[in-house]
Every structure is written in structure tokens, then in C-alpha cells.
Amino acid sequence: MKFNENFLKLEENYIFNDLKLQIQELENSDTEIIDLGIGDVKLPLFPLVTSAMKKACDELSEKKTFLGYPPSQGYLFLREKIARNYLDEGACVDADEIFITDGAKGQLGNVLELFSNNLKVLFLSPCYPAGAEANILLGNKVTFLSGNKENSFIPNPPFDKSFDLIYICSPNNPTGSAFSHNDLKIWINYALSTGAIIIYDGAYSAFLPDGYPKTVYAIKGAKNCAIETRSFSKSLGFTGVRCGFTVVPKDLGDCNKLWKRRLGCRFNGVSYPTQRGAEAIFCKEGKAEVKKRINFYKTNAEILKIALKNKNLWYNNTVSSPYVFAKVPNAETSRDFCKKMLAKIRVVATPGSGFLQGGEGYFRLSAFETRKKILEAADRILTL
Ligand code: PLP
């Protein structure tokens, strides 16, 4: 048997599994470890969501209202709510262009089944590694275009080159930088003029303040060149429940038709209680709850930034993110710095090198924690 040799091109461990191993090693030490490494939420599901899920489970326990396989594209009740929400975001997306998913991570690689092999793929980096690794595994040619402090981690297109696919994430994980309307317009025009398709990762769109495009489809021409994937993981606390959605526009060649065909052989849908839980948030009260939660995490980020400022550490000062992306203070590698930080103050940070090209020299702190732990972490950072 010949295995996929592209595995050899990946790091031995996925970055966040590596962090988990480091935490396990220190778990029995005297000082409690504060994990600001892996961006997993810590606050529980909203009561509004859990009551909808419980009601859905009750329905499934009755013969009259029992349901089997869900539609693989997702229930219309949820897709219609999402489509209506797109209108509020200044975009026109039809329920038939929306596909309910078990989250965004898999989608970053799954979409590749729409296209031929040996693709030239551009990643704006540093970036969340899942999409790049999926491309590497398939043998695609991955190129990185690194942002930096000077361009606020929003690079301009390489106008002298062309690519088949371009991955953009806004607000970006890990940097927190968000694309303005104008930034996105430049990239969409570049994609349209070179024939590229943009894979737009909006996993953190709920964190964008007013004035920033919440969806790529708020920009003219995007439906002709972009697939968007979104997630309920961070906004609804669904990292464990698993639900999100992907938009494959009908104006994107045959992609919408082909994606439906793909679902037929690859996906049996997301559970009914999960979809009812997600649906429950699309009301005035639900949206207000989400906003409050997002602001809570963003305030956590501000607290961490104050501690970093007091230590004279540079950070990317954005207001769109549950993460703080900061500069390693000296010439050591981000991995060594994070190891030292864990050993000295028992706070886990993610080394920037885990976010691929352009990430070395930085580290990321997650603000997805309780206020108590964030305050404790901020105090410990002051003793670094
Ligand atoms: N995209 C980005 C940029 C992320 O940071 C993450 C998770 O951290 C994901 C996608 C995956 O999200 P999900 O939990 O929906 O799979």
C-alpha cells in the first residue's frame, strides 16, 4: 500500500494538538495553568438555544414528530433565517445557496472537491492552518502572501501573478485584522480579473464592529468569485455542538449544482436539534445575547492588551477579534518564547509559527475565557 506522501510535508502534530500535549505534561503542577492557547470558548450555551434544542429532542422522542436523516443541505427553517440575516448585512443570498455544515474547519478543505487537481492556491498569512494543510495534503501548490505590522496584516494582491484559489479570513485568525469594504473590493476585483475563486472564511464575522463588511457578498461582484464559510462556534459557543454554513452562489459557474451533487455522496446533514438550536438565535433577543457575549470576549482581549502594554510588548491593536496577536520581545523563536511563558507564569499562548508564514516572531493569546481567569492571566503577564 502506498500512502499519501504529502503527509510528510506537514508538521508532525497539528499546532493545537501540540499545545494540548504541553498542557498535559504540566497539569499536575502547583499553579493552575491558564489556557489562552487553543481558541475554545468557555462560556456555556445560551438558554434560548438549549430550550430550542430540548424542544427538538422532545419532538424526536414522539412517534408523530420523529425525524430521520436531515436534508443534507440543511433544514429550510434555518437556511431561510440565515438568508434573511444576509439582507441585514447588506447582501442578497438565497436560501438555496446556503448549505448547513458541521462547522467551518472541514469546509476549508471540502470545497476543494469542486475543483481540479494541482491548483495554485494563495493564502494571506499568518493564517489559521487548516485550509493550507488541506491543500498541502491534496498536493496543491500553496503560496503564502504575508502581511506585516506595516500593512496591518492586510497585504495587497500580487498583481503580476495569478492563482486558482485565494483564501481570505476576516477578521483574521490570528492577527485580528479586518478587511474594510475597500480592502475586499481590491481583492474581489483582482480575483475577477484573474479568474480566481476566493474562499472567504468568516468564522469570526460576529466580532466585526459596525462599518466593516460582515460578509464578502456585501461587495459587488463577490457572488461571481467567492465561496463563504461561516461558523456558529465562536458566536454561539457551538465548538462542541458543531454547526455552521457555507454559501455557494448560483452565479459561480456550476458550483452550486456541483456542490449539491457532492452532498449526495458525502454528507448526511446536521442533526435536527442542532439546527433548531442555531435557528433560535435569529431573533431580537438572541442577537442581543450574542452581541453581549462578543463584547464580553472583546473586553477580555482589551484587558490582556493593557497587560502587554505595561510590559512594553507590541500587539496588533484591532477591535475585531477575540485574540491578541503580539510580538515576541527578543530574537528567540515564538515556540521558545511560549514554552518559557508556560514554564514561568503557567499561561499558554500559541506560537505565531503555528500560523504559518509570517507568524514567526509573534504569539497569540485567546480571550475566550472567564473574566476571572483573564484577570489572573493579565496579572501573571505583568510578572513575565
Ligand atoms: N476558521 C478559522 C479562522 C478558525 O479560527 C476556526 C476555528 O478556530 C475555524 C475556521 C473552524 O471553526 P469550526 O469550529 O466552525 O470548525
Could you identify the atom of ligand 1 that is nearest to the CA of residue 234?
14
CA of 15 to the centre of ligand 1 (A): 14
Residue nearest (by alpha carbon) to ligand 1 atom 9: 105
User: pLDDT averaged over the chain?
Assistant: 95
**pLDDT (0 to 100) of residue 352:** 96
**pLDDT (0 to 100) of residue 72:** 97
Could you identify the atom of ligand 1 that is nearest to the CA of residue 107?
16
Q: Which residues of 77-93 are buried (b: 16+ CB within 10 A; e: fewer)?
A: ebbebbbebbeeeebeb
**pLDDT (0 to 100) of residue 196:** 98
CA of 175 to the centre of ligand 1 (A): 14
**pLDDT (0 to 100) of residue 25:** 76
| pLDDT tens digits, one per residue of 8-66 | 999 887 777 777 777 777 777 778 999 999 899 999 999 999 999 999 999 999 999 99
Q: Which residues line ligand 1 (CB under 6 A)?
A: 39, 103-105, 128, 169, 173, 201, 203, 231, 233, 239, 244
- What type of residue sits at position 264? G
Query: What 8-state DSSP symbol labels residue 203?
Result: T
pTM here?
Answer: 0.96
Q: Is the pLDDT of residue 288 over 80?
A: yes
**pLDDT (0 to 100) of residue 297:** 97
Q: Which of 220, 363, 237, 360 is nearest to 297 (CA)?
A: 237
Q: Is the pLDDT of residue 111 over 80?
A: yes
Rounded distance between C-alpha atoms, residue 329 and residue 12, angstroms? 27
Structural domains of the chain ordered from first start: 5-44+286-381 (3.90.1150.10), 49-284 (3.40.640.10)
Percent of the chain with pLDDT over 70: 100
CA of 30 to the centre of ligand 1 (A): 32
CA of 206 to the centre of ligand 1 (A): 13
Mutate to test the pocket of ligand 1, among 105, 200, 356 (most ligand atoms within 8 A of CB): 105
CA of 233 to the centre of ligand 1 (A): 7
| pLDDT tens digits, one per residue of 17-30 | 777 777 777 777 77
CA of 336 to the centre of ligand 1 (A): 25
Pairing of strands 165-169, 34-35: unpaired
Rg (CA), the chain: 21
Read off the pLDDT band of 200 (50, 70, 90): very high
Q: Which of 35, 84, 7, 14 is nearest to 349 (CA)?
A: 35
Q: Nearest 5°: phi and psi at 224?
A: -90, -5
Rounded distance between C-alpha atoms, residue 172 and residue 237, angstroms? 19
Residue nearest (by alpha carbon) to ligand 1 atom 7: 105
Percent of the chain with pLDDT over 90: 92
**pLDDT (0 to 100) of residue 77:** 98
DSSP H helices, the chain, are 15-26, 47-60, 76-88, 105-110, 129-137, 181-194, 255-266, 272-279, 284-310, 334-345, 371-381
Rounded distance between C-alpha atoms, residue 369 and residue 77, angstroms? 32
CA of 66 to the centre of ligand 1 (A): 32
Helix (H, G, I), strand (E, B) or coil at 77: helix
